């Protein structure tokens, strides 16, 4: 078999898979335990490699036992459905295999990224904004926290965080766990993330937020960041960005909006009011791979101010990269 025959054979399999997804007869998953799966699929890697027919059989087995997330009965809370243009975009991305680190090697992808960030910022109102696509909402939250740390203490990029500086950040008690992981990674420690109690609807209690900030200052700590959530993972609650923005301004804190789950609501004229105040946030994490059915992973981190991303860098010697 030559390459063309293999591509044709796989194309037929993919088409059949997509048609089956729309039918009522294909279950969402044929669940097997790990041991059963190892018995059904020979996944051993050998020095000899495998014949082309075996390779095609493995493709069938993969599709057979994988969860059908594009099936109309797949009702996972975080994503569902199939988006044809985005699916084709994924194929084109893989077939070209360009890296976004320079314009030289990824000219088309680079201008697409700029256009998308410009367009997405037209919804947030960041007219002088910036942004970058990242590998997931957790990483968007990480880069936001890291940017806020560098704003409050620019020198820690070079020398680390001063032992005299006890940075504190504030999130809804229902916020995503990635903030604590991010605090661990950036060296302020997960215990520096202060969880604020929520209102009965799951949104952050703004009065408690202000009290916690004042308490932290009184202890000699340096509050620097509030992570508001636009659509909490469990309840879909929206923190009041308007109210939180006033508090952030008063105490000079970075306001980040984690819209990883519910940020796409900004596109809805009917419901976008739940995100009033987004134009006041310093950064916004938005995951089109959740409510917009874009294939995993499609996450963007938007910034109100240009230059933040660049100022996160240290004096790197990247002369070998031609920009």
Ligand X SMILES: *Cc1c(COP(=O)(O)O)cnc(C)c1O
CB of 74 to ligand X, least distance (A): 17
Using Cβ positions, the residue closest to ligand X within the complex turns out to be 137
Q: Which stretch binds ligand X (CB under 6 A): 7-15, 117-125, 132-140, 183-191?
A: 132-140
Cβ atoms of 129 and 117 closer than 8 Å: yes
58 to 13, 54, 107, 275: CA distances (angstroms): 12, 6, 35, 46
Pick the piece of the chain touching ligand X (CB under 6 A) from 67-75, 130-138, 246-254, 275-283. Answer: 130-138
Number of chain residues interacting with ligand X (CB under 6 A): 13
Contacts of residue 253, Cβ cutoff 8 Å, sequence gap at least 6: 148, 170, 213, 223, 224, 225, 226, 247
Residue closer to ligand X by CB (options 20, 90) is 90
Selected range binding ligand X among 88-96, 164-172, 254-262, 307-315, rule: CB under 6 A = 254-262
- Residue closer to ligand X by CB (options 144, 245) is 144
In angstroms and rounded to an integer, the radius of gyration of the C-alpha atoms of the chain is: 23
Contact pick of 258, 266, 295, 301 for ligand X (by CB under 6 A): 258
* Binder among 55, 63, 109, 136 for ligand X (CB under 6 A): 136
- Which of 70, 129, 131, 137 contacts ligand X by CB under 6 A? 137
Candidate residues 21, 121, 124, 138; the one interacting with ligand X per rule CB under 6 A: 138
68 vs 176 by CB, closer to ligand X: 176
Report the C-alpha gap between 64 and 27 in whole angstroms.
10
73-102: which residues touch ligand X (CB under 6 A)? 78
Q: Are 102 and 321 spatial neighbours (Cβ–Cβ below 8 Å)?
A: yes
Q: Which stretch binds ligand X (CB under 6 A): 10-18, 117-125, 244-252, 256-264?
A: 256-264
What DSSP character marks residue 295?
A: P
236 binds ligand X (CB under 6 A): no
Range 150-209, binding ligand X (CB under 6 A): 176, 178
Nearest to ligand X of 178, 198 (CB atom): 178
Distances (CA, A) of 151 to 144, 163, 310: 11, 17, 12
Residue 260 binding ligand X, by CB under 6 A: yes
Select from 278, 302, 146, 308 the least CA-distant residue to 224.
146
Closest CB to ligand X among 178 and 264? Answer: 178
Distance of closest approach, residue 292 Cβ to ligand X, in angstroms: 12
**Residue 3: Cβ-neighbour burial (10 angstroms; 0-12, 13-18, 19+):** exposed
Provide the 10 A C-beta neighbour count for residue 315: 7
Q: Does 288 bind ligand X (CB under 6 A)?
A: no
Answer for which of 203, 229, 240, 283 binds ligand X (CB under 6 A) is: 229
Q: Nearest-CA neighbor of 243 among 214, 206, 204?
A: 206
Only segment of 37-45, 155-163, 242-250, 255-263 that touches ligand X (CB under 6 A): 255-263
**In sequence order, what DSSP letters do the residues of 95-127 get, joined into one string?**
HHT--TT-TTT-HHHHHHHHHHHHHHHHHHT-T
Cα separation, 285 vs 104, in Å, equals 28
Enumerate binding residues for ligand X (CB under 6 A): 78, 136-138, 176, 178, 229, 233, 258, 260-261, 287, 299
């Amino acid at each position: 078999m030559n390459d063309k025959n293999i591509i044709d054979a796989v194309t037929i399999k993919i088409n059949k898979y997509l048609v089956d997804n729309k039918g009522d007869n294909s279950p969402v998953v044929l669940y097997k335990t790990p041991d059963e799966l190892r018995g059904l699929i020979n996944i051993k890697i050998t020095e000899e490699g495998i014949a082309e027919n075996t390779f095609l059989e493995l493709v069938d087995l993969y599709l057979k036992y994988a969860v059908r997330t594009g099936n109309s009965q797949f009702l996972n809370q975080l994503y569902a459905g199939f988006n044809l243009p985005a699916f084709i975009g994924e194929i084109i991305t893989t077939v070209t295999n360009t890296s976004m680190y320079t314009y030289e090697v990824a000219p088309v992808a680079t201008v697409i990224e700029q256009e998308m960030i410009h367009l997405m910022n037209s919804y947030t109102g960041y007219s002088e904004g910036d942004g970058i696509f990242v590998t997931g909402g957790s990483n968007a939250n990480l880069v936001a926290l890291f940017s806020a740390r560098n704003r409050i203490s620019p020198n820690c990029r070079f020398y680390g965080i001063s032992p005299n500086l006890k940075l504190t950040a504030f999130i809804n008690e229902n916020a995503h766990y990635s903030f604590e992981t991010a605090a661990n990674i950036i060296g302020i420690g997960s215990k520096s993330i202060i969880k604020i109690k929520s209102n009965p609807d799951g949104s952050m209690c703004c009065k408690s937020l202000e009290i916690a900030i004042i308490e932290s200052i009184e202890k000699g700590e340096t509050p620097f960041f509030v992570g508001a959530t636009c659509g909490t993972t469990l309840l879909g609650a929206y923190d009041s960005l308007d109210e939180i923005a006033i508090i952030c301004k008063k105490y000079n804190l970075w306001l980040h909006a984690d819209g990883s789950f519910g940020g796409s609501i900004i596109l809805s004229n009917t419901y976008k009011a739940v995100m009033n105040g987004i134009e006041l946030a310093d950064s916004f994490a938005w995951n089109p791979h959740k409510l917009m059915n874009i294939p995993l992973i499609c996450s963007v981190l938007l910034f109100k101010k240009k230059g933040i991303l660049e100022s996160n860098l240290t004096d790197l010697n990247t002369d070998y990269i031609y920009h």
